Amino acid sequence: MENARKQSADDIARAERGRGELVAAATRFFEQHDFLVCPTAITPPFPNHLHTVEEIEGYRFKTYIDWIAVTFAITLIACPAISVPCGFTRDGLPVGVQIVGKPRREGELLSVALLFEQAIGLGPLTPINPISHIKA
C-alpha cells in the first residue's frame, strides 16, 4: 500500500499499458492453445511457522509476495485459473499444478481440471492434513 501511494499518474498509466500488453499476449496464446499449465508455486510447501519465502537458490525476493508471482500474475490477464494436486515431494508434501483457461470459460476449466484429477488418480490420497506432513 505504501508503494502504491507513491505511484504517479504516469506510473499507473505505464503499468496499465503493460497489463494491456500481457492481455494481448494471452489472447494470442489462447488462439492457439486451449489451456496453459504451469506450477502452482515455485517452491514445495514449507513449515507453517514461516510466513513467507525469503530466498530460493540464492535469489532473494524483494517483497513478501514475490515468490507467488506465478499465481497472482495470472489475475492480470483476467483468465480463470485453478490449482489441482499433481503429486508429492519426496517428503510426502503435496504439489499442485495450475491450469489456466480462456477468459470467461470457467466451465471448460473446471471440466479439464476434473479430467486431470481423474487421470492422475490422486483422489484417494487427497486431501491431506499438511500440518502432519511438515517437518519443523
Q: Establish if 78 belongs to a structural domain.
A: yes
Q: Establish if 48 belongs to a structural domain.
A: yes
Q: Establish if 69 belongs to a structural domain.
A: yes
Q: Which helix (H) or strand (E) holds 87?
A: strand 81-88
Nearest to 48 by CA among 133, 131, 108: 131
What's the pLDDT score for residue 133?
54
Q: Establish if 10 belongs to a structural domain.
A: no
Do residues 68 and 111 make contact, with C-beta atoms less than 8 angstroms apart? no
pLDDT digits (tens, 9 = 90+) for 11-44: 999 999 999 999 999 999 999 999 999 988 888 8
Is the full-model pTM beyond 0.85? no
Number of structural domains found in the chain = 1
Is pLDDT above 90 for 1?
Answer: no
Q: Establish if 103 belongs to a structural domain.
A: yes
Mean pLDDT rounded to a whole number for the chain: 86
Residue 48's pLDDT band (cuts 50, 70, 90)? confident
Q: What's the average model confidence in pLDDT over 66-72?
A: 81
The residue among 23 and 124 whose pLDDT is bigger is 23
Q: What DSSP state is assigned to residue 61?
A: P
Q: Establish if 77 belongs to a structural domain.
A: yes
Q: What DSSP state is assigned to residue 124?
A: G
What's the pLDDT score for residue 126?
66
Nearest to 63 by CA among 3, 8, 15: 3
Provide the residue range defining the domain that includes 73: 34-133
Q: At 40, list the grid cell.
A: 502452482
